[in-house]
Amino acid sequence: MGWELIESYFKNKNIAQMEIDSYNQFISTRLNEIVKENNLIVPKIEEVRIELSDIEVEKPKIIEADGSPRDIFTPMEARLRNRNYAGPIYLTMRLFRRDVEQDARRTNIGDMPVMTKSKLCWLEGKNEQELIEMGEDPKDFGGYFIINGSEKALMTQEVLSSDRVLISEGEKGVVAEVISTRGAFKGRVRVLRTPEGMIYVSFPTSPKRLSLFGLFKALGLKTKKEVFEAFNDEKEIQNDLLLNWEECDVSNEQEALDKIGKYVAPGQVIDYRLRRAREVIDGFLLPHIGQDEPARLAKAYYLAMMATKAIERHYKLRGKDDKDNYVNKRLELSGKLMEHLFRYSFKYFVKDLRFQIDRTVTRRRKLNISTVVRPGAVSERIRFAMSTGNWIGRSTGVAKFMDRVNYLAPLTDLRKVKSQLAKTRELYEARDVHGTHWGRLDPIETPDGPQCGLVKNLCFMAEVTTDASETPVEELLHKQGVRLKKL
């Protein structure tokens, strides 16, 4: 009975479906999110601005050497002619000068590599006979790209989970840390409880020893009552809070902000220091909660939760977190990796667009969209990463040649999982088989040598889901009456 179930599972299941789903999600939702992050371009010449909207990737096309376009360009043709299997990216751009619209058009800004069997691929939905007529193997599962005629698979990356508080212990005390992620920005926020009972916070661009209670005042928890109500009533926690309250060296919100301001804008006037301090708190402290003023109170409560966990760990009221536990890991599939790559390439395109506008206006040439857009700005960066395997964040070997020695070789290529830890370090615990790998990762299939235990293989029946939006869950909670406590 067991074998019949397994046979029917593989009969109806595409082994690369999770890669295809991930890529489809990137094309349908993530592309527009990236454009929204950079939807307004204001160059140095302030009277000019460009608004971007409605990005779309079309199915692969080709323009022949004589300039004639052809709408259908199949994967087999890309392989035989050593071409990229990629679709054109179109973006709606509107150019304003002194708030008057000068030009508006749908512009080609480059090419996007298309995954075989994804919704942009010409092979999607074709039956066995149609695939044979197109020169394809009907047993081929897709989930890879064709770059310069070579088949490239993206290796799944294993990363620590974002926006998840992890507790660890060291010589300096107990640390509660979270990797707070918003768009391309990842900031590590640490709450340290020293052996003496003092609590300090560090986040990108913050002063070295910033007291938690000083930061609370900067975030809007001003009175002793407001601060203490953010924590629970356990006597160990209350004792630590009293000690920190007595040692706190700032008395009001302005002093607390100025302490950060003196670090991030030394030697400036007080108004500028306070403004910079607010910008740093909004932009770099727990950005996943929000990057505007209304989110400050929520950030204060989140820091209180992190401090509570650190204090409880010191008094042995809770255990340590295991970074090797798969609950605390996430797998970045092709869609997520392409998202990182496109975000980086698109930011470069926006920067290049600003430069081209400034140059055109300075030289007193006619300013319109077609003269300032350089499609190669996006395509070159994507093509370079896909060709070399060198990805954003100094990752190497992300894109690799598909091995076609036998039927099993490409299957394992698509299910390889690579840890981002350095292969030169010993890291015995990270390389070891963990209990939570059961049913998810193969305990035997791993290379010899320095990569041992860092490159793993997903089990054939393991599936990775695509990430979902938090907004519907938050809306449901609000409808049920959950509210952020107002003090």
Residue 256: phi, psi to the nearest 5?
A: -65, -45
Compute the mean pLDDT over every residue in the chain, rounded to the nearest whole number: 89
pLDDT tens readout for residues 96-114: 888 888 888 899 999 999 9
| pLDDT value for 91 | 93
pLDDT in tens, 40-58: 888 877 688 889 989 999 9
pLDDT in tens, 183-234: 878 889 999 999 988 999 999 888 888 888 888 888 888 888 888 888 888 8
Other beta carbons within 10 Å of 466: 15
Q: Is 166-314 the same fold as 2-159+332-403? A: no
**Per-residue pLDDT averaged across 317-337, rounded?**
91
- In the predicted model, is pLDDT for residue 454 greater than 80? yes
Structure tokens at 22: 């991930």
Region 17-27 average pLDDT: 94
Closest CA to 96 of 372, 369, 360, 373: 369
Amino acid at 470: E
pLDDT of residue 1: 59
Q: Is the pLDDT of residue 486 over 80?
A: no
- Judge whether residue 403 has pLDDT over 90: no
pLDDT of residue 325: 92
134 residue type, one letter:
M
26 DSSP 8-state letter: I
Residue 308 is predicted with a pLDDT of 93
Token pair belonging to 333: 């599939």
Over residues 358-389, the pLDDT tens digits come to 888 888 888 888 888 888 889 999 999 999 99
HEC secondary structure over 358-406: HHHHHCCCCCCHHHHCCCHHHHHHHHHHHHHCCCCCCCCCCEEECCCCC
Sheet holding 150-154, edge to edge: 145-147, 150-154, 399-401
- Tell me the domain boundaries of the chain: 2-159+332-403, 166-314
In terms of DSSP bridges, do strands 185-193 and 199-202 run parallel, antiparallel, or are they unpaired?
A: antiparallel
Report the CATH number of the 166-314 domain.
3.90.1110.10
**Cα gap 150→83, rounded to integer Å:** 9
Among 3-12, 77-86, 243-252, the range of highest mean pLDDT: 77-86
What is the tens place of the pLDDT at every residue in 150-184? Answer: 999 999 999 999 989 999 988 889 999 999 988 87
Query: Phi/psi at 306 (nearest 5 deg)?
Result: -65, -45
Q: What's the rounded Cα separation, in Å, for the pair 168 and 174?
A: 6
- Give DSSP secondary structure letters for 398-467: -EEEPP-SSSHHHHHHHTEEEE-S-TTS--HHHHS--GGGTTTB-SS---SGGGTTTEEEB-TT---PPP
Q: Is residue 484 very low, low, confident or very high in pLDDT (cuts 50, 70, 90)?
A: low
- Domain 2-159+332-403 classified CATH 3.40.50.150? no
Task: Look at 248 and 136; give whichever has higher pLDDT.
Answer: 136
